[in-house]
Structure 1
Amino acid sequence: MHSTTARALALPALLLLALTACGAEPEIVPATVAGDATGTPAAGGRTLNLGPDQKRVRAEKVDSIASRVPAEIAEDGRLTVGFSGEGSPPLTFPATDDTTIIGVETDIAQLVADVLGLEIEPQTSSWENLFLAAKSGKYEVVFNNVTVTEERKDLYDFATYRVDQLGWQVPENSPIKEIAKPADIAGLRVSVGSGTNQEKILLDWDKQNKEAGLKPAEILYYQKYGDVLLALKSGRVQAYFGPNPSIAYNIAVSGGSRIVGTFSGAGPDLQGLIAAMTKKDNGLVKPVSEALNTVIENGRYKEVLDRWGLGNEAIPESQINPPGLPRQGA
């Protein structure tokens, strides 16, 4: 398996796993906000620290869990964690020094490292290479908005820590109170990204409405999220259906809009789950899951999610290798 031929054969399959059903990283347009010289914007009565000195929420070591970390991983005292270096607030993105990687993923990884009694060693890579590095063991764990899928479970182990969520965004002064079912979008002007999973869900909702004799939605497409925000502000669009993290971040730093509903990124039949990813059967996934459950129980986990405006993506407990998105073509 270490031959050049084997690596060449494995690469296409790994890239397919990386590129399908994978919580794609949305384009984020930096918000223009009032803030201080350290890059800490103030919006809606809250502050977000975007500087390199994050003053992260920390956790205490739990010896009984730390002792279960495989010796070959624990021996250097470090936990090598893979993140995307491409930037997707509030998941992972560069701080104001353009070097330090910050975001909800780095904060949760820090909590896990703390419980395991290890020093976090962050590494950044492209999205596709995160999978290759995890499979080879170069990265001991990946925290990067990775959705659990049945194909991925063949090669990796997973410990869940967030739900995979889509959100409905409306202007702050919108009369819309909730979007939870197809009938709620009947007759509305709505925007969605072309070719996305949320577009498939939206088109299915619109089809159901038409079959039920309800007014069809007017679906508008924009290439950039910044254009969507302008359309919402001007009234050209009444609601936008997109990745919950990017919407929550925009609301946190800019205000002017709100979330009126969320929906599973896996569609109507399964709640998609985001998870820490480790090499298959390397023995690390169980202590990682136990560490996550520790910080869920003691409240540190909630502090981190609330810090980044993602409280609505919390899970009650971390699971190991739960049912994932179905296999392609299944």
Structure 2
Amino acid sequence: MKTPAEIARTQRSRRGLPAAVAAAALVLAVTACGPSATSRTSAAETGQDTGVPALEVNEAAARLLPEPIKSTKVLRVAIPTNEPPTQFYREGTQEMTGTNPDVARLIGQALGVKVEIQVANFDSIIPGMAAGRYDMTVSSMTPTAKRMQVLDFVDYMQMGNSIAVAQGNPRGIKDQKSLCGGKVGLLTGSYQLTVNVPEYDRACTAGGRDTIQRSEFQDTRQAISALTSGRLDAVLADSPILNFAATQNSQIEIAAKYDFTPVGVGMPKDSGLVKAVSAALSAVVKSDAYLKVLGKYGLESSAITDARINFAQ
């Protein structure tokens, strides 16, 4: 019988990506503007009650798991933090909660494995998976053609963009077209930064207006602080996060909500996980437990009924 250390070494080697794929994954992280936080395991995964509804094991999905995860019965899931209601620590604890950790736990239940949540900055997640540190991510990541060069995706919920402005909307921002020439806060590595803003800039230039002045932040709390202090005209980020922030902070309001599209669970290509996760999520999104999890955070409207595989946005 192998020792725990030997099993861990075998698991890491089997889950690692080929060098070419790892290099491609690192290319996707070039938008990083600061040091990544050290990955750490949420205290919620040490036996505490996470408050997630019980879900039966889907035996057919569990049989599709790759052998390393079948043997360890552990799924290492990378998730950012500081972004309620999608992921955050319960006040005064190191227990991770929110829609993303809870959906990850539902997937784990469906597969009959323990979910070990690893907290990491968003822009470090894809390189981390390339290095074999994580098996998958549930981090509101939008499937894009570029990300799908190195990751497989399975849809698990939908969300849109929101534009937050200072209370009273002093600049009169009505939609994304109003962002031309403005100072806009964005999350490092986000879909808004890497896909939306380049598209908006092209429209600004075509209309004879200045492009967006970008400022990058590791989480929306930092961006909102810059907004309320007058350093930004707006913050562009995922709608659940900014909508929730606006209910907690009377100094900001939501100027626009738009572009509701699915986000997906991401996992390295050729890891052998996509079939198992797809089968598990197909059962999860049809369950009462899934609707209860989204309802707990006021995101019932984000529910989907079809867990599509590799559907690029």
Q: Same fold by TM-score, threshold 0.5 exceeded?
A: yes
Q: Report the counterpart of residue 55 of structure 2 in structure 1.
A: 59
User: 1:299: Cα distance to partner?
Assistant: 3.4
Q: Is the 8 A contact 1:135 1:278 kept in 2?
A: no
Q: Give the aligned length.
A: 272
2:273 counterpart residue number: 284
Match of 1:78 in 2: 74
Which deviations, in whole Å up to 9, do the C-alpha atoms of 1:5-26 show, x marking residues without a partner? x988766532221346x9xxxx
1:121 matched to 2:119: no
Aligned residues with identical type, % of pairs:
22
Q: Secondary structure at the match of 1:75?
A: helix
Note the C-alpha offset of 1:247. 0.8
Residue in 2 aligned with 1:15? Answer: 26
2:181 paired with 1:192? no
Instruction: Find out whether 1:323 has 2:312 as its counterpart.
Output: yes
**Root mean square deviation of aligned Cα:** 4.4
Aligned to 1:41: none
Q: 1:55-107 CA deviation, whole Å, 9 max, x = no partner?
A: 233422222322222333122222222223x5333333333235222222111
1:246 to 241, 263, 275: 241
1: CA distance, partners of 2:213 / 2:70: 51
5+ long unaligned stretches in structure 1 = 23-51, 265-270, 325-330
**For each residue in 1:12-63, what CA deviation from the matched residue of structure 2 results, as whole angstroms up to 9, or x when unmatched?**
532221346x9xxxxxxxxxxxxxxxxxxxxxxxxxxxxx864233422222
For 1:126 and 1:170, the matched residues in 2 are separated by 24
Structure 1, residues 267-301: CA drift from partner, whole Å, max 9, x if none? xxxx7542112221232212212222222212332
CA contact 2:76–2:116 (8 Å) conserved in 1 = yes
In 2, Cα distance between equivalents of 1:292 and 1:68: 13
Alpha-carbon distance in 2 for matches of 1:248, 1:65? 35
What is the deviation of 1:261? 4.3
| Secondary structure of residue in 2 paired with 1:288 | helix
- Residues 257 and 316 of structure 1: CA distance in aligned 2, closer, same or farther (over 3 Å): farther
Deviation at 1:180, TM superposition (A): 6.9
Q: Which runs of 5+ in 2 are unaligned?
A: 1-12, 33-47, 217-222
Q: Give CA deviations for 1:167-203 in whole Å, capped at 9, x if unaligned.
A: 14478999xxx96785xx69xx987337946555656
| TM-score of the pair, normalised by structure 2 | 0.65
Q: What TM-score do you get using the length of structure 1 for normalisation?
A: 0.62
1:113-158 CA-partner distances (Å, limit 9, x unpaired)? 1111112122233445432342354422221232222233232221
1:228 maps to which residue?
227
Is the CA contact (8 Å cut-off) linking 1:135 and 1:156 kept in structure 2? no
Structure 2 counterparts to residues 1-330 of structure 1, below 5 A: 13-19=24-30, 54-84=50-80, 87-163=82-158, 165-169=160-164, 192-193=184-185, 196=193, 199-200=197-198, 224-229=223-228, 241-254=236-249, 259=254, 261-264=256-259, 273-324=262-313
